[in-house]
Amino acid sequence: MSSRERILGRVRRALADVPGDDTPYERAVVRDYLREHGGRTVDETVDLLAENLADYRAIVHRCAAGELPSLIAALLSGRGARTVLVPPGLDPGWLAAAGAERIPDRAESDPHELDRVDSVVTACAVAIAETGTIVLDGGPDQGRRRITLVPDHHICVVRVPDQVVSSVPQALGRLDPVRPSTWISGPSATSDIELDRVEGVHGPRTLEVVLVSGR
Amino acid sequence: MSGTYLGMPAFPAAAREAVGNPTLRGNLRHATHTIRAKRAKAVAEVEDWAELREAGKRIKDHTLRHLDTYLERLEESVTAAGGVVHWAADAEEANRIVTALVKATGESEVVKVKSMATQEIGLNEALEAAGIRAYETDLAELIVQLGKDRPSHILVPAIHRNRGEIRDIFRDEMAAWGRPAPEGLTDTPAELAEAARLHLREKFLRAKVGISGANFMVAETGTLVVVESEGNGRMCLTLPETLISVVGIEKIVPAWRDLEVFLQTLPRSSTAERMNPYTSMWTGTTDEDGPGTFHLVLLDNGRTDTLADEVGRQALRCIRCSACLNVCPVYERAGGHAYGSVYPGPIGAILSPQLRGTGSEIDASLPYASSLCGACYEVCPVAIDIPEVLVHLRERVVQGGPVTRAGNKVVLRPAKGHAAERAAMRAARWAFGRPGALRTGQRLASRTRRFHPRTLPGPGRAWSATRELPPVPAEPFRDWWQRTHGGEAGGK
């Protein structure tokens, strides 16, 4: 007998007490929890996102669409970034004013090469106001998962208010499970030393989130 | 389970040693009190906590009650998404599968994300025996590995170490494992985190094989979820060419949507955050993004035996948040090592004796490692009634009875150490069933009370060593009532 059959057999014997007409999933799980917490206007939701991002040490910037290229250029030069990773589908206009050398996100790149890049600029799939979370799903304007992981400086652009939801349930509803996703809430951190939060371990130690409004 | 823990003394002996260590007491008190207050605040922020908790409980219960269906569904969806599913009935089989998978890649080292399941099965030791070096990459796991130590907490395995001790371990041990600690390393947490970053980065960048567990597996979609803080998880899950995830069969949730409950309750309950810094979700393999080969090893190792116990199976709802450890007065004082298992604290006291059986001294003593205060049940985000299971397991230890071990139904014999307890209970049953005998006994006890010892002799000594014997009144209550209220209505 294979272990698969053995384990499934054990499970079935263990569940001999469960009736054949046990309550089905739809009725067994009562979902009377909230779809979102509190009532807010669209603007207030965006404000909450900014507040919660900052609470977990992300650096938050807000600008109008027209100001985005100069803001990104300023953020990169402010860090002294000489090289910047660029996802294939990133709006080329966003980096129009930046002086840093653009390094394309390529499948052949070796992790050591990525480690030598100073910064990365991406868009996101959705952002969650209540938790201060940005979610990347590997879309063309976000690139492979590793490009937002290895460089020490990540600039993530969130289009507000379109990409902002209030809550975790709303965010999951917008995501496609087939795509690999990365949920980011502030820069890399740890609670491993005396259960106190310290920012900056393996992921980017500086996370800058740009909330851009208008087309 | 892991051989590391074989031959552990019973909980009372191990705990006695631990409470005599003032550094350990101080470290544990500081850490558990820090997190308690923060957790309460994070939970209070969401007004529907009770509803989320109930939904989490129901999702897990429903899944467990139909685990065979969901396991098959998961296998199907993971396979369809490009993953390879393996089944491991016990630790030995899981270790064999993983070792063979690593060997097949031709690599002799792996990077690991913190995983309770791989600790439980002693995977690192098995890999080492096969000539494969496993690098733990979670900061706390690194501290434990470098210090040749054992984990003492589910979430923060090095909770028993303070910053000064961690600095010493890094300074003394890092060089033997790779990049040495920076010169002049101090004990500030930020510097310690930086030292870990530098030490591990070279390992991440060259790693070809990653090994992980998972917090959740979605049957409907085949998605695995790893919740973490540092980014070491993301490194191990995305940089290597081969990813092997070893996951307990109870980690399934039926649908994608179910994550909306646990992604709200888990971070708040474990690290007291609205959301943990990083959560990774992946479904099989993705072209040109992340590992090209993905293996999922589904682990039983006592879980189906636990499932067979109608009272005890609720322990399988556990999402490993560790809130129960942080509030437990026993854990706070005894520390995690005394529990003799990778699962310490209240949840460990009900999980280890079920996964491993109550055959060993340590496992038979774990259901007693509690004052039954109920704080663990109160904070549990999936409402596991830990005191209920503790009492149930105590009954099992003392009385014996039918249990399932390795899939077979066996009848457990009453444990040896509890003969006096059983005799006392039999005597009590006899006396309470005979009012005359009870009355005579009570009067005798009252009259001789001046001669009562402060501790019990013989087999009762262990019981009274940690408890005051209740004082016997000068006159039994019934006699007093008869004497003072004898003629009144209602008096007999």
Cβ pair B258:A183 closer than 8 A: no
Q: What angle do CA A188, A194, A198 make, to 5 degrees?
A: 25
How many angstroms separate the CA of residue A70 from the nearest CA in chain B?
A: 29
Cα torsion A28, A32, A37, A41 to 10°: value is 120
Instruction: Give first-to-last CA distance, chain A, whole Å.
Output: 62
Chain-centre distance for alpha carbon B91: 17
Q: What angle do CA B387, B388, B389 make, to 5 degrees?
A: 90
The number of beta carbons lying within 10 Å of the beta carbon of residue B484 is 10
Instruction: Look up residue B80 and give its two tokens.
Output: 């369809």
Per-residue CA distances from A113 to A85, A105, B141, B206, B234 (Å): 11, 11, 28, 12, 18
Look-up: residue for tokens 């996951």? B247
Q: What angle do CA A97, A93, A175 make, to 5 degrees?
A: 130
Instruction: Nearest by CB to A149, from B66, B218, B235: name it.
Output: B235
A9 within a domain of the structure (yes/no): no
A4 within a domain of the structure (yes/no): no
Decide: B370 and B339 in contact? Cβ < 8 Å. Answer: no
**B278 touching chain A per CB within 8 A:** yes
**B48 touching chain A per CB within 8 A:** yes
**A33 touching chain B per CB within 8 A:** yes
Q: Which residues pair with A198 in a beta bridge?
A: A190
Instruction: Look up residue B155 and give its two tokens.
Output: 């979430």
**A6 touching chain B per CB within 8 A:** yes
Return the DSSP state at A157.
E
**B83 touching chain A per CB within 8 A:** no
A1 within a domain of the structure (yes/no): no
Which of A29, A51, A106, A148 would you mutate first to test chain B, the one with the most B CBs within 10 A? A29
Query: Residue A63 belongs to what domain range?
Result: 38-213
A136 within a domain of the structure (yes/no): yes
* B238 contacts: CB under 8 Å, gap ≥ 6: A144, A145, A146, A149, B280, B289, B290, B291
Cβ pair B230:A138 closer than 8 A: no
Decide: A143 and A107 in contact? Cβ < 8 Å. Answer: no
**A54 touching chain B per CB within 8 A:** no
Distance between CA atoms of residues B145 and A1, nearest Å: 37
**In B373-471, where does DSSP find H-type helix?**
375-379, 386-399, 419-432, 435-447, 461-465
**A26 touching chain B per CB within 8 A:** no
Which of B68, B154, B223 would you mutate first to test chain A, the one with the most A CBs within 10 A? B68
Characterize B149-186 residue by residue with b for buried, 16 or more Cβ atoms within 10 angstroms of its Cβ, and e for exposed: bbbbbbbbbbbbbbbebbbebbbebbeebeebbeeebe
Q: What is the pLDDT along chain B (492 residues), one digit of tens a residue?
A: 444 465 678 999 999 999 999 999 999 999 899 899 999 999 999 999 999 999 999 999 999 999 999 999 999 999 999 999 999 999 999 999 999 999 999 999 999 999 999 999 999 999 999 999 999 999 999 999 999 999 999 998 999 999 999 999 999 999 999 999 999 999 999 999 999 999 999 999 999 999 999 999 999 999 999 999 999 999 999 999 999 999 999 999 999 999 999 999 999 999 999 999 999 999 999 999 999 999 999 999 999 999 999 999 999 999 999 999 999 999 999 999 999 999 999 999 999 999 999 988 899 999 999 999 999 999 999 999 999 999 999 999 998 999 999 999 999 988 877 887 788 888 999 999 999 999 999 999 999 988 888 888 877 777 788 788 888 999 999 899 989 987 665 544
Distance between CA atoms of residues A211 and A166, nearest Å: 15
Predicted complex ipTM? 0.97
Distance between CA atoms of residues B40 and B61, nearest Å: 25
Cβ pair B275:A183 closer than 8 A: yes
Which of B264, B288, B310 would you mutate first to test chain A, the one with the most A CBs within 10 A? B264
Q: Can you give the CATH number for the domain in which A112 is found?
A: 3.40.50.10420
**B166 touching chain A per CB within 8 A:** yes
A99 within a domain of the structure (yes/no): yes
- For residue A169, the chain B residue with the least C-alpha distance is B260
Q: Burial-class residue A214 by CB neighbours within 10 Å (0-12, 13-18, 19+).
A: exposed
Distance between CA atoms of residues B90 and B440, nearest Å: 56
Domains in chain A: how many in total? Answer: 1
Q: Among B296, B303, B302, which residue's Cα sits nearest to residue B217?
A: B296
Characterize B348-379 residue by residue with b for buried, 16 or more Cβ atoms within 10 angstroms of its Cβ, and e for exposed: bbbbbbbbbbbebbbbbbbbbbbeeeebbbeb
A174 within a domain of the structure (yes/no): yes
A11 within a domain of the structure (yes/no): no
Cβ pair A37:B279 closer than 8 A: no
- For residue B406, the chain A residue with the least C-alpha distance is A10
Instruction: Look up residue B46 and give its two tokens.
Output: 């969401």
A13 within a domain of the structure (yes/no): no
Return the DSSP state at B66.
T
Taken in order of first residue, the domains within chain B and their CATH numbers are 25-161+205-414 (3.40.50.10420), 420-485 (no CATH)
- For residue A113, the chain B residue with the least C-alpha distance is B205
